Amino acid sequence: MRSVDKNLLSHARSLSPLSDKEAYLFDGPGCPTIEELCAAASQLRDLGKGRTVTFSPKVFIPLTHLCRDFCGYCTFRQSPETAARLYMTPEEVLNVATAGQRLGCTEALFTLGERPEQRYPEAKQWLRNRGFATTLEYLAYVCQLVMDETNMLPHANPGTMSRRELAALQPFNPSMGLMLESTSARLYQAGGPHEFAPSKRPRVRLRTMELAGELGIPFTTGILIGIGESRSERIEAILAIRDLHRAYGHIQEVIIQNFRAKPATPMADAVDATSHELLWTVAVARILLGPDVNLQVPPNLSSDDYEEYLAAGINDWGGVSPLTIDFVNPEAPWPALADLQRRTAEQGLTLKPRLPVYPEYFVNTRAWLSDSLQEKAIALTDAEGYVKGGMERYAGRN
Ligand code: SF4
């Protein structure tokens, strides 16, 4: 190992954060090998998270597939001409949430397109007929319904948000999310995957994350790898997330998601992100973000390589549903929980269910959640903040 490698990793292991300048050395001639990166990353994970790996038992509620934007890799978005319905009704939302509750789920994940009423008059009219001016107003209404009428906790993931919109959702969402995806300006230039997606401008997304921090909202974000960004640009995005977390302490988890090409999209012929690139990014993210941040790889997009990602320092598998498909990646089925538990255990790690908000935001602290969210979170969990009943809740269900 060359001296720069030794210095970088021993510095990271010493728990004193690497500087931005040092961080970029991971994309250079002095970069440690993948084995060395993983060894340092898993050691940091163990220091901060012990040998527990979590997942969130959830239902996926695609409130609307309509979207004002066009991303080059997306099969989620639909137009009024192709969508089976413009929006899910409140009754449909509650039906999915209560069905998930019966199966032991605790998260109602709301994922939807970006501000469709700004592009489609049909969407605007649908909302207006029901007394809502915007999709985000309607989202707040159905989140409150789920809070009031089920034992599930909403987690809204509706795209970019203003301070007012975040504040309106906050009483009914113990956490919210927005993937940063990338900080690369190249991706929204001509021919890039975000050319026709103004909401994917990094500045706009970082501003939403910053506002969430100012409001004290536990927040999920992450990066999408393999859409044309470089390794250095990935480091830049991870550092941007690190800076926001340092400022506000609200980044409750960071997802490292791999791009998969989908038919009938502008990027149908693009090459999928390789598992080697995903592994490198996960390990570097753990080293740069430190031992305490929750780091996730979605298990349905990497089913061949669970063991390697665990060895690269993740401590979470994200949302897994016994009921609904992954509407963003419909071709990728969720793992059976028994299989995920077994393969996690084979690496000497223990799988536990968690809420959409991580324990550090409600166990022994009242600094983050409203009284009603706090009470519900405590009622659903054990003394450590994991879902009551543990993996036994799901025994025999998959
Ligand atoms: S990825 Fe999101 S913002 Fe982009 S087109 Fe699809 S739904 Fe819209």
Q: Render pLDDT for 58-78 as a digit per residue (tens, 0 to 9).
A: 999 999 999 999 999 999 999
Query: Ligand 1 centre and the CA of 199: distance in Å?
Result: 9
Query: Ligand 1 centre and the CA of 257: distance in Å?
Result: 15
pLDDT in tens, 254-300: 999 999 899 889 999 998 888 899 999 999 999 999 999 999 999 88
In order of start, what are the domains of the chain with their CATH numbers? 3-391 (3.20.20.70)
Contact between 252 and 220 under an 8 Å Cβ cutoff? The reply is yes
3-state SS string for the chain: CCHHHHHHHHHHHCCCCCCHHHHHHHHCCCCCCHHHHHHHHHHHHHHHHCCEEEEEEEEEEECCCECCCECCCCCCCECCCCCCCCCCCHHHHHHHHHHHHHCCCCEEEEECCCCHHHCCHHHHHHHHHCCCCCHHHHHHHHHHHHHHHCCCEEEEECCCCCHHHHHHHHHHCCEEECCCECCCHHHHCCCCCCCECHHHCHHHHHHHHHHHHHHCCCEEEEEEECCCCCHHHHHHHHHHHHHHHHHHCCEEEEEEEECCCCCCCCCCCCCCCCHHHHHHHHHHHHHHHCCCCEEECCHHHCCCCHHHHHHCCCCEEEEECCCCCCCCCCCCCCCCHHHHHHHHHCCCCEEEEECCCCHHHCCCCCCCCCHHHHHHHHHHECCCCEECCHHHHHCCCC
pLDDT for the residue numbered 30: 77
CA angle 95, 341, 225 (to 5 degrees): 80
Pick from 64, 70, 77, 182 the residue to mutate for probing ligand 1's pocket: most ligand atoms within 8 Å of its CB.
Answer: 77
Query: Ligand 1 centre and the CA of 46: distance in Å?
Result: 35
Our answer on whether the CB atom of 113 is closer than 6 Å to any ligand 1 atom is yes
pLDDT above 80 (res 5): no
What percent of the chain shows pLDDT beyond 90? 84
Q: Across residues 139-153, what is the average pLDDT?
A: 98
In terms of DSSP bridges, do strands 153-157 and 107-111 run parallel, antiparallel, or are they unpaired? parallel
pLDDT for the residue numbered 1: 44
Contact between 179 and 374 under an 8 Å Cβ cutoff? The reply is no
Residue nearest to atom 4 of ligand 1 (CA): 71
Pick from 76, 111, 204 the residue to mutate for probing ligand 1's pocket: most ligand atoms within 8 Å of its CB.
Answer: 76
pLDDT in tens, 193-213: 999 999 999 999 999 999 999
pLDDT for the residue numbered 347: 95
Query: Ligand 1 centre and the CA of 161: distance in Å?
Result: 14
The atom of ligand 1 lying closest to the CA of 75 is 6
Our answer on whether the CB atom of 70 is closer than 6 Å to any ligand 1 atom is yes
Q: Could you tell me the pLDDT band of residue 55, with boundaries at 50, 70 and 90?
A: very high
pLDDT above 70 (res 397): no
396 against 15, higher pLDDT: 15
pLDDT above 70 (res 6): no
Query: Ligand 1 centre and the CA of 39: distance in Å?
Result: 36
Query: Ligand 1 centre and the CA of 89: distance in Å?
Result: 21
pLDDT in tens, 100-119: 999 999 999 999 999 999 99
Q: Across residues 35-42, what is the average pLDDT?
A: 95
pLDDT above 90 (res 2): no
Q: Across residues 321-349, what is the average pLDDT?
A: 91
pLDDT above 60 (res 4): no
The atom of ligand 1 lying closest to the CA of 199 is 3
Using CA atoms, how far apart are residues 344 and 284, in angstroms rounded to an integer? 21
Query: Ligand 1 centre and the CA of 218: distance in Å?
Result: 23
> Which of 205, 261, 204 is CA-nearest to residue 74?
261
The atom of ligand 1 lying closest to the CA of 74 is 6
pLDDT above 60 (res 386): yes
Mean predicted lDDT score pLDDT of the chain: 94
Under 8 Å CB-to-CB from 219, ≥6 apart: which residues?
A: 175, 176, 177, 178, 209, 212, 213, 250, 251, 252
Query: Ligand 1 centre and the CA of 303: distance in Å?
Result: 24
Q: Across residues 303-314, what is the average pLDDT?
A: 91
pLDDT for the residue numbered 333: 87
> Looking at 23-37, 137-151, 351-365, which range is the least confident one?
23-37
Using CA atoms, how far apart are residues 239 and 20, in angstroms rounded to an integer? 7
pLDDT above 90 (res 396): no
Residue nearest to atom 7 of ligand 1 (CA): 113
Query: Ligand 1 centre and the CA of 335: distance in Å?
Result: 25
Using CA atoms, how far apart are residues 348 and 344, in angstroms rounded to an integer? 7
pLDDT above 70 (res 306): yes
Pick from 69, 117, 179 the residue to mutate for probing ligand 1's pocket: most ligand atoms within 8 Å of its CB.
Answer: 69
